[in-house]
Amino acid sequence: MARQDACTLLDDDHDEAIRLFEQYKAAHDARHQQTLASRISQALTVHMQIEEEIFYPAFLRATGDQSLLKDALREHQDARELIAKIEADRQNARLVLELEDAMLHHVNDERDKMFPKARATPGLDLMELADLLEARKTELMAAA
């Protein structure tokens, strides 16, 4: 059972991705960078999936804000395209840094716009959503 709300749980994922990108930039060994690129790809893929399966539909039902959701989904699509390129060429640091930039923009959008709106919306049970997100993330990570 989650001890934090859905927004905090998702933001913890954001912080973990940021840490992985920092480790990637600090790594001087190509093999270690490739391993980190894979970890980044996996973490972001799982994160986007739980947002799209659980958080975004609940957010849309509760807020009716299609504009924020449309932007978030477009950003996810952009990230997926970069992840596919990285998986095909794990030695391409430029792609990893491009993914980092895209992810940071997305994180800021969620932190500044979506999460505050979610927290201010009556009827959106963020604690229950956190439990669902956490369970699904555990399931997806075990399958990876």
State residue 2's pLDDT score.
55
Tokens standing for residue 37: 């690129």
> With contact defined as beta carbons under 8 Å apart, do 33 and 41 qualify?
no
The per-residue DSSP string of 47-64 comes to: HHHHIIIIIHHHHHHHH-
State residue 1's pLDDT score.
55
State residue 143's pLDDT score.
86
Q: Is 98 exposed, middle or buried (0-12, 13-18, 19+ CB in 10 A)?
A: middle
144 residues of the chain, pLDDT tens digit each = 557 899 999 999 999 999 999 999 999 899 999 999 999 999 999 999 999 999 999 999 999 999 999 999 999 999 999 999 998 987 889 999 999 999 999 999 999 999 999 999 999 999 999 999 999 999 999 987
State residue 118's pLDDT score.
97
Measured between alpha carbons, how far is 24 from 35 in angstroms, rounded to an integer? 9
Measured between alpha carbons, how far is 110 from 10 in angstroms, rounded to an integer? 10
